[in-house]
Chain A
Amino acid sequence: KQEVTQIPAALSVPEGENLVLNCSFTDSAIYNLQWFRQDPGKGLTSLLLIQSSQREQTSGRLNASLDKSSGRSTLYIAASQPGDSATYLCAVSGTYKYIFGTGTRLKVLA
């Protein structure tokens, strides 16, 4: 059974810092991995999708990497801003469905 873990559960950093969020999964037989952002009281917004054949994806200040063999993905946020404060969730796709991690709650201090 696939299990997805995100560490740390919460993170507080000063504005401008570069930071890394981690996502681990137990079954490497995945089709893709998706990173989401969730603001309080809101839905999930897709940030990046990495197909299983890819190693990384970039969008603006965000870079996500995928290492299937070790069951790990990282989301790198460059030059963090207070507007980046949110909960970040990763989800891995096996056959037919996604399994979500419990998320990392990020707070960027001005």
Chain B
Amino acid sequence: DAGVIQSPRHEVTEMGQEVTLRCKPISGHNSLFWYRQTMMRGLELLIYFNNNVPIDDSGMPEDRFSAKMPNASFSTLKIQPSEPRDSAVYFCASSLLTSGTYSYNEQFFGPGTRLTVL
């Protein structure tokens, strides 16, 4: 298995532009997470999906952020318009939620997208 795939790996954009980050989870996993990592705030959970449905988006910083998961093998995180304070590394992770126990198995991370907003 190729693991969790993210694209692009690096993104540099100007303030006000739209940014779209992409993620392909591990085949067979039914849960997907988007995280943001900065030096100041560490690793923050933005949103997570179970069976393609957003379960909790309380970590999404504001309305400029949106995430979709149209099918089990693809998710996007969009920032529109982008601001310099959005500069961070964005990680996607996937896992298998065991039904009944609501217990996750191992969570696997992608390599991340380093976003710089000028």
Contacts and interface: CB of A to CB of B under 8 A. Distances in A.
Interface of A: 31-32, 34, 36, 42-46, 49, 51-52, 89, 91, 93, 95-100, 102-103
Interface in B80-118: 91, 93, 97, 101-112
Contacts of A44: 91, 93, 109
The majority secondary structure among interface residues of chain B is: strand
Nearest to A100: B43
Given A31-B101, A42-B111, 9 more contacts: A32-B104, A34-B106, A34-B107, A43-B109, A46-B109, A52-B103, A96-B48, A96-B56, A103-B42
Contacts of B55: 96
Contact of A43 (B56, B106, B110): B110
The majority secondary structure among interface residues of chain A is: strand
Nearest to A89: B43
A99 B45 CA distance: 8
A42 B9 CA distance: 11
B103 A31 contact: yes
Nearest to A30: B103
Contacts of B110: 43
B107 A46 contact: yes
B38 to A, nearest CB: 12
Given A97-B45, A100-B43, A46 B106 contact: yes
B102 A96 contact: yes
A97 B111 contact: no
Contact of A31 (B48, B56, B104, B112): B104
12 contacts: A31-B103, A31-B104, A32-B104, A45-B109, A46-B106, A46-B107, A52-B103, A93-B104, A95-B102, A96-B56, A96-B102, A103-B42
A30 B50 CA distance: 19
B25 to A, nearest CB: 14
Nearest to A96: B55
A49 to B, nearest CB: 5
Nearest to B97: A96
A100 B48 contact: no
A98 B91 CA distance: 14
Q: For B33, B56, B104, B108, which residue has the most chain A Cβ atoms within 10 angstroms? A: B104
